[in-house]
Chain A
Amino acid sequence: MTFLQVDPSVVAEGVNLLWVMVATFLVFFMHAGFGMLESGQVRSKNVANQLTKNVLTWGVGVLAYFVVGVGISAVVAGVTSGSGVSLASAYAYYTGGSTAWASILFGAAFSMVAASIVSGAVAERAQLRGYLLFTVLVGALIYPVATGLTWGGGFLATLGFQDFAGAAVVHMTGGVCGLVAAYIVGPRVDKFNDDGSPNVIPGHSLPYAILGTLILAFGWYGFNVGTAVNVFQVTDAGELALADYAYAGRVAINTALVMATGSIGAAAVSVLRSGKVDSLMTANGLLAGLVSVCSIAAVASWPATLVVGFIAGVQVVLVFDLLEKFGIDDVCAVFPVHGSAGALSALAYPFVNTTSAFSISQLGIQAVGVVVLALWAAAITFAIYGLLKALGWARVSAEHEREGLDSSEHGIVTYPEFGDNSVGSAGRTTSTTAADGSGVADDD
Chain B
Amino acid sequence: MTDIEMVVAYIRPDSLGAVKQAVAEAGAPSITVSNVSGRGSQPAKKGQWRGEEYTVDLHQKTKVECVVADVDGHDVADAIREAAHTGDPGDGKIFILPVDDAIQVRTGKTGPEAV
A residues lining the B interface (CB < 8 Å): 198-203, 269-270, 273-274, 276, 278, 280-281, 284, 317, 320, 333, 434, 436, 438-440
Contacts and interface: CB of A to CB of B under 8 A. Distances in A.
Contacts of A198: 52
Contacts of B44: 438
Nearest to A270: B51
Contact of A438 (B48, B49, B51, B54): B54
B38 to A, nearest CB: 12
A200 B51 CA distance: 10
B106 interface: no
Contacts of A439: 54-55
Nearest to B52: A200
10 closest A-B pairs by beta carbon, nearest first, are A200-B54, A202-B49, A278-B51, A281-B51, A438-B55, A270-B51, A280-B50, A200-B52, A439-B54, A200-B49
Nearest to A276: B48
A270 B57 CA distance: 23
Instruction: State the majority secondary structure of interface residues on B.
Output: strand
Contact of B57 (A199, A281, A333, A438): A438
Given A436-B39, A438-B44, A278 B50 contact: yes
Contacts of B52: 198, 200
B59 to A, nearest CB: 12
Interface string B15-53: 000000000000000000000000100001001111111
B103 interface: no
A103 to B, nearest CB: 38
Given A274-B48, A440-B47, A200 B53 contact: yes
A80 B48 CA distance: 48
Nearest to B57: A438
A439 B39 CA distance: 15
A203 B55 contact: no
B48 A278 contact: yes
A284 B58 CA distance: 28
A284 B49 CA distance: 12
Nearest to A332: B50
5 contacts: A274-B53, A278-B51, A280-B50, A440-B47, A440-B54
B56 interface: yes
A284 B57 CA distance: 28
Contacts of B56: 438, 440
A134 B55 CA distance: 37
Contacts of A434: 58
Interface of B: 39, 44, 47-58
A273 B50 CA distance: 12
Given A434-B58, A438-B56, A273 B49 contact: no
Contacts of A203: 49
B39, B44, B51, B58 pick with most chain A CB within 10 angstroms: B51
A389 B50 CA distance: 29
B55 A280 contact: no
A273 B48 CA distance: 11
B39, B50, B54, B58 pick with most chain A CB within 10 angstroms: B50
B55 A317 contact: no
Given A436-B39, A438-B44, A202 B54 contact: yes
Given A200-B52, A284-B50, 19 more contacts: A198-B52, A199-B54, A200-B49, A200-B53, A202-B47, A202-B54, A269-B51, A274-B51, A274-B53, A278-B48, A278-B50, A280-B49, A281-B50, A317-B51, A436-B39, A438-B54, A438-B55, A438-B58, A440-B55
Contacts of B55: 438-440
A320 B48 CA distance: 15
A200 B48 CA distance: 8
Nearest to B37: A444
A436 B50 contact: no
A440 B54 CA distance: 7
Contacts of B54: 199-200, 202, 438-440
B35 to A, nearest CB: 11
A199 B49 CA distance: 11
A58 to B, nearest CB: 27
Contacts of B50: 278, 280-281, 284, 320, 333
Contacts of A199: 54
A281 B44 CA distance: 23
Contacts of A274: 48, 51, 53
A28 to B, nearest CB: 27
A280 B51 CA distance: 8
B11 to A, nearest CB: 20
Nearest to A440: B54
A203 B50 CA distance: 10
Contacts of A278: 48, 50-51
A55 B111 CA distance: 57
A203 B55 CA distance: 15
